[in-house]
Structure 1
Amino acid sequence: MKEISEIYIYPVKSCRGIKVNSWKVNEYGFKYDRFWMVVDDQYSFLTQREYPNLALVIPTIQENDDDGGELILENPKNEQKLILPLLPNKEGYAKCLVKIHDDVTMAFDCGEESSKWISDYLGAKVKIVFKSTEESRLIGTNLPPKDELLKQPETAFADVFPFLILSEESLSDLNKRLTTSVTCRNFRPNIVIKGCEKPYEEDRWKKIMISDHLFYVVTKCPRCVMTTINPETGKKEGLEPLKTLQSYRRVDPGLKYRGCFGMNAIHNKPGITLNIGDQVKVIATGEHIREV
C-alpha cells in the first residue's frame, strides 16, 4: 500500500523547508509554498546555485485563526529575526516584475528592512519579494489534455511545477550506489511516498489519487547542482549525488543529458488538505517525454 510518509513546504524559494504533518493546498500548490523569493538588484531570482548558504535560512510560519499571521526568518549570522506578514497590505509595498528562468511575473518588494537582513547575510545587494495574486503565473507545458483540467494550472515561485514527488524506494536505490548517503532534503520534495513495489515506479505514473484527490504526474524532474549542497551545512560537497544520477538516470528522451530524480505534479483543484498517512493510488500510467 502506497502512502504519504513526509510532507514539506518551502515558504522562501531555495531556503530551508518545513516538515509538516498536514497542509492545505491552494491554487498555487501547498499554501505559502515558494510564495517568497530572493532576487538580485535586477529582480532576477536567486537560489542555492548562486548562494548555497540560503539552505541555512530557516522559515517558521505562525498562522492566526483569521488566516493572518507571520513568516519568521532566521539565519546563522544574525540574532535578529526577520518577521514578515503572511497576508501583507499590498498598498504598502512596491510592485515589481521578477524573472524566474524564462518567466517574468509580477511580485511585491518586501521592503528595505528585509533587503538589509538578507543582504547582510549573503554579502550581496539582494531583496526579498512575495507573490502577487493579481497576476497568474500559468503553467504552459507538460500538461494533461485540456478537457481533463478544471482550470489551467498555475504556480507561485516554483521553477515550473507546484509539486515534486519522491519515493522512499527510489531514494534507497540511489543511496545503495553512493559512498555517502543523502536524504530526501537534497532533492527538496513536497511529497514523499512509501510503499512502491520497486524503485522508480513513479517514472510511469500519469494520474494518482491521494486520499480522494486527483493529481496529474506530468514529467520527470531533471536535477542540478543544488542536489550536491549539504542541507545541514549550506555548502557544496563534491559532485554527488548528481554525478551518480548522471550515470544511470538519463531516462527521459526530452532531457537526454540530464539525470532525473523525482516527478513533478499538478493538482486538479484547490481547497484540499494532504496528510501524512494519506493513501496513494495509481490510476493511470504511461511514458513521459519532457517538453522543453
Structure 2
Amino acid sequence: MEGLVAAFLEHYWTYLHSIKGSLALILLAVLIVVLRRRRKAESSAIPTREDIPGCFRAGLRKSRLDDEHVSRQLDRRDSKHDGTPFVKAIFTYPVKSCRGVELPATEISSTGLAYDRLFSFAQLVRQNDAVTAESRQVDADATPQWRFITQREYPKLALLETQLWLPDPHSHQQTSDANTSNEWVENGGGLVIKFPDERNTNGQAGYVTIKLPLEPTAQHAKAKQYTLENMTIWLDSPWCINMTNEIDVESLAKLGSFLGIEHTLALFRSNPRDLRSIQRSLPADHQDETFQVGFADAFQVHLLNMHSVQALSDEVPPEHKVDIGRFRANIIVAGVSAYEEDRWKRVVFGQTVDIETNAIVPASHHVACRTARCVLANVDQQTGVQDRKEPFKTLKRTRQVDEGAKPHPCFGLSMMPLFQRGVVRVGDRIEIIETGEHIYEKMFS
C-alpha cells in the first residue's frame, strides 16, 4: 500500500515536466497574479493574517451575491454587459458538501474548478447498508466499505467552513518561521476546516480547527502514513487517498458527534490517477475523448442563473427563503432572463491556451444537461437544518421540464470543459455558441 501512495505522488513530478504540466504552471502563474491584484485592488478581499505560514487566504470577504435578494432587474450595472450574460460569481467547494469559497478568479481544467470537491468525508459502512436519514441498519454479514457522505443525510455538513490557503511567492517570513512556512509551501498550501465545538467543556463558544496540506509531497505522505483505499461514490469506487491521519483523534471524534455520524469517519482526497469516467451526455464532436470527474456528483462544472433563483423564490411559499447557496453551483451568471439558460448547449467563457499555437483563446464548455435536483436543496446553508418540503416541492411543481429527468425537477446546467487548463474570472462575458433541447440521461437506469 505504501508503494502505491509513493507511486501516486511520484506522478506529480512526471506531470509537471510534461507539456500539460508546463501549461498548468503558466496558467497558475497568471491566476496568482489575478488573485493578488484583485486582493489589493478591492477592499472586499479577505484579511491576509497568515494562519498558514507562507500562504495567502484565497477568497472574498464581501460576496458578489450580496444583492441577490434585492435586485429583480437584469444586472447591467457594468455597461459592457448590456444584455449579455456574464460571470457574476465563482465558487469552489474544497470539501464535498461543506461550505464553499467565493473567488474573484480560478483555474479551471478538464476535471473542473481548481480544488473543487478535492476532498470528501466518508464513513465505514457495510456493503448493503443504505445509510439514509431514515434507516441506518447494518448488515453484519456484508463487507465494510468507505462510502461518501453529503448533506442529503447529514445536513450539518453545511456548517463546516472551508478556507483555501495558497502559496504566496511574495511572502516574507521571519527566520524563526521559515521551516514551518517552507513545509506548507512545499505541500501546495493548506486547507482549513472549522466547525462549532459542541463538546467544549469551558462553557464558551468555540470552534474546532483542522489543517491539512493541499498537494502533499511523497515525503509528507509517507510520514503521515497515508493509504490508498476504495471509496464508493454513487456507482463508482475509485482508489482514493485516505488522509485521516492529518486529523487528531479528539477533533475527529468531535466532528463525528457534531454531524451525528455513528460509523467510523475518514477524510479522503481525490486521486488524479483514478478519476471517475463520464459515460453519458458526451459532446458529439468529442466522442473519442475521455472525460473524467473527481468527487463532484456527475459532471465537472455546475452553472446557475441568478435570475432563475429569483424566479423560483417568487414561487415558493413566502415563509420559505430560497438563496443561491442552496444549489452549490460553481459559476453564477447574470445578465439574462430567468431560465433562458435552459436551452444552452455550447458556451464560451474564460480563457485557455491553444497547445499548438500557444495563443490565449476563449475557453469552450459543453453543456451536458440540465441539472437534476434532489432534496439537498432543502438544506438551509446558514443553519444546517433541512426543511421537509421546500424548495424541492416547488421545484417538482414548476421545473419538471426535461422528459428524460422526470420525476426529478431540473435547475441549472451541468457542464464539461473542452480544454485542459484555463482561467475564468468574475465579469467574463459568456458567449452562447449553440442552443437546443436537452434530454437528460439518468445515472441510474
**TM-score interval (norm. to shorter):** over 0.9
Q: CA contact under 8 A between 2:396 and 2:409: conserved in structure 1?
A: yes
Larger radius of gyration, structure 1 or 2?
2
**1:69 Cα deviation from its structure 2 partner:** 0.5
Measured against aligned partners, the alpha-carbon deviations of 1:32-75 in whole angstroms (never above 9, x if no partner) come to 10010011112111000111000000110101146710001000
State the match for 2:430 in structure 1: 280
Measured against aligned partners, the alpha-carbon deviations of 1:238-257 in whole angstroms (never above 9, x if no partner) come to 41110000001111111110
Q: CA contact under 8 A between 1:24 and 1:271: conserved in structure 2?
A: yes
Q: CA contact under 8 A between 1:114 and 1:127: conserved in structure 2?
A: no
State the match for 2:376 in structure 1: 226
Q: CA contact under 8 A between 1:139 and 1:154: conserved in structure 2?
A: yes
- Matches of 2:305 and 2:244 in 1, distance apart? 39
Q: Which has the higher strand share?
A: 1
State the match for 1:83 in structure 2: 211
Gaps of 5+ in 1: none
Q: CA contact under 8 A between 2:109 and 2:417: conserved in structure 1?
A: no
Q: CA contact under 8 A between 2:377 and 2:391: conserved in structure 1?
A: yes
Q: CA contact under 8 A between 1:150 and 1:269: conserved in structure 2?
A: no
Please state if 1:186 is matched with 2:326. yes
Tell me which of 254, 266, 270 is aligned to 2:404. 254
State the match for 1:5 in structure 2: 88
TM-score where L is the length of structure 2: 0.63
The count of aligned residue pairs is 290
Q: Which has the higher helix share?
A: 2
Gaps of 5+ in 2: 1-83, 125-144, 170-184, 198-205, 351-361
Measured against aligned partners, the alpha-carbon deviations of 1:128-175 in whole angstroms (never above 9, x if no partner) come to 100111223221111111x43683221110001011111112111111
**1:104 Cα deviation from its structure 2 partner:** 1.5
Identity %: 31
RMSD of the alignment, in Å? 1.7
Larger RCO, structures 1/2 (Cα 8 Å, 6+ apart) = 1
- Matches of 1:133 and 1:39 in 2, distance apart? 18
**1:31 Cα deviation from its structure 2 partner:** 0.7
The change in CA–CA distance for 1:182 and 1:68 in structure 2 (over 3 A counts) is: same
The change in CA–CA distance for 1:85 and 1:149 in structure 2 (over 3 A counts) is: farther
2:367 partner amino acid: V
5 Å matches for 1:62-73?
A: 62-64=165-167, 65=169, 68-73=188-193
- Matches of 1:115 and 1:199 in 2, distance apart? 47
Q: Secondary structure at the match of 2:395?
A: helix
State the match for 1:109 in structure 2: 242
- Matches of 1:59 and 1:28 in 2, distance apart? 21
- Matches of 2:438 and 2:213 in 1, distance apart? 40
- Matches of 1:72 and 1:181 in 2, distance apart? 29
Q: Secondary structure at the match of 1:119?
A: helix
Q: CA contact under 8 A between 2:154 and 2:260: conserved in structure 1?
A: no
TM-score where L is the length of structure 1: 0.94
